[in-house]
Amino acid sequence: MSTEKTIERAENHLLHTYNRYPVVFDHGEGVRLYDDNKKEYLDFCAGIAVYALGYGNRRYEDALKKQIEKVMHISNYYYSEPLADAAEAITKASGMERVFFTNSGAEAVEGAIKAARKYAFLKDGKCDHEIIAMEHSFHGRTFGALSVTGNAHYREPFEPMIGNVKFAKFNDFESVEALVNDRTCAIIMETVQGEGGIYPADPDFVAKIRKLCDEKDILLILDEIQCGMGRSGSMFAFMQYGIEPDILTVAKAVGCGVPVGAFLMNGKVAKSSLVPGDHGTTYGGNPFACAAVAEVFKIFEEDKIIDNVNSVAPYLEKKLKEVVSSHDFLIGERGLGLMRGIVFDTSKKKPGDVVKAALSNGLVLITAGTDVVRFLPPLVITKADVDEMIEKLTMSLSE
Ligand SMILES: *Cc1c(COP(=O)(O)O)cnc(C)c1O
């Protein structure tokens, strides 16, 4: 079938909520995607930080095939071995005590908010608790997650939100402190803001927030849906800050392609929050999704995925900084590990135009915020892949 025909059939029936690029992807291998005309693309998007292991990882695929042949879904009223494997692996890797598996990132954030409110409710029996979130944050599109997303444009048409949410300035501790009162039950933030424009949290900001939360028994919810799972250079980005969250949300790369997310909590929250009847899901944590999660953690360990991030990320950073310094319309570079962005002077050039040009040059990139092109490659890329990317990027920047 022709590319145009496929696009037309899709557009005839899909609800128009995305302006898709006119590409029909067919399959992937390694760090490359191939379209329906067999054109090759170097992928520095990885399905938005999902395909951490690259395409066609045989071990991962065999584990999924084996599970499909046994059973894909049972119900959360029963146990399965993959569920036990996945729960063990994700709590061990994060240092959190307990986990609840979801089907997406947004649902993980929903669960995190419910757990935080329940924790506060059990303390004082009141129903007026407040949450502090950050400007320019992104936590997902469902109502709870949207309510703590710091982008008024995403929220406005759907008001009213869940309520009692206040927004502080990311990396500005005084702005957070000014919003705290005795109703504050949680502070939610991304350790590295992703959609908002690739802003890593300042170590000093994180340390002060943790201290404030400890002093006032406010729960710190870290959303590592995008920056987690090795992308930052440690299994979770918070590990580089020498602190631990009370609640952690994970998704995207935790399933490496299978839709799965999770919220996790420490012992303090687990002991005094959600109980049977408070929360549930039909699909969440089913044997198929959990077989993926369990295998992903095994492969991360055996293939030393994080070591590769730490060997390639400084090279990517150096190369991107060189690109920035040789273009007058580029004004900065920032990120953590293999989550990076270059910042545009949008009066001179638009990030969206560069992403389009890159796609025609066989390079998959995406934007972030209003002025950033984002780099979220599979975590298995090599320095040679970086060189090839830089070549294609440079070409795309000059168009
Ligand atoms: C992608 C993302 C989400 C939402 O995840 P979905 O799976 O799309 O619901 C939430 N938080 C962060 C930080 C994200 O990057």
| Dist. CA 9 → ligand 1 center (Å) | 28
Q: CB of 287 within 8 A of CB of 73?
A: yes
All domains of the chain in start order, with CATH: 3-56+305-397 (3.90.1150.10), 70-302 (3.40.640.10)
One digit per residue, the tens of pLDDT, for the chain of length 399 reads 799 999 999 999 999 999 999 999 999 999 999 999 999 999 999 999 999 999 999 999 999 999 999 999 999 999 999 999 999 999 999 999 999 999 999 999 999 999 999 999 999 999 999 999 999 999 999 999 999 999 999 999 999 999 999 999 999 999 999 999 999 999 999 999 999 999 999 999 999 999 999 999 999 999 999 999 999 999 999 999 999 999 999 999 999 999 999 999 999 999 999 999 999 999 999 999 999 999 999 999 999 999 999 999 999 999 999 999 999 999 999 999 999 999 999 999 999 999 999 999 999 999 999 999 999 999 999 999 999 999 999 999 999
| Dist. CA 109 → ligand 1 center (Å) | 8
Q: What is the pLDDT of residue 105?
A: 98
Contact 199 CB / ligand 1 (< 6 Å):
no
Contact 223 CB / ligand 1 (< 6 Å):
yes
Q: How many CB atoms lie within 10 A of CB 169?
A: 15
Atom of ligand 1 nearest to the CA of 145: 10
Cα separations in angstroms, 349 against 195, 257, 317, 320, 370: 19, 33, 21, 17, 12
| Dist. CA 253 → ligand 1 center (Å) | 11
Nearest CA to ligand 1 atom 7: 105
Q: CB of 287 within 8 A of CB of 82?
A: yes
Q: What is the pLDDT of residue 211?
A: 98
Atom of ligand 1 nearest to the CA of 226: 15
| Dist. CA 190 → ligand 1 center (Å) | 10
| Dist. CA 321 → ligand 1 center (Å) | 27
Cα separations in angstroms, 23 against 38, 40, 48, 241, 377: 11, 12, 16, 40, 19
For residue 38, give the nearest of 48, 47, 29 by alpha carbon. 29
What does the block give as tokens for 396?
A: 């795309």
* 104 DSSP assignment: S
Atom of ligand 1 nearest to the CA of 251: 7
Q: What is the pLDDT of residue 28?
A: 98
| Dist. CA 5 → ligand 1 center (Å) | 31
Contact 194 CB / ligand 1 (< 6 Å):
yes
Q: CB of 261 within 8 A of CB of 250?
A: yes
Atom of ligand 1 nearest to the CA of 107: 9
Parallel/antiparallel/unpaired status of strands 25-29 and 32-35: antiparallel
For residue 30, give the nearest of 336, 388, 357 by alpha carbon. 388
Q: What is the pLDDT of residue 344?
A: 98
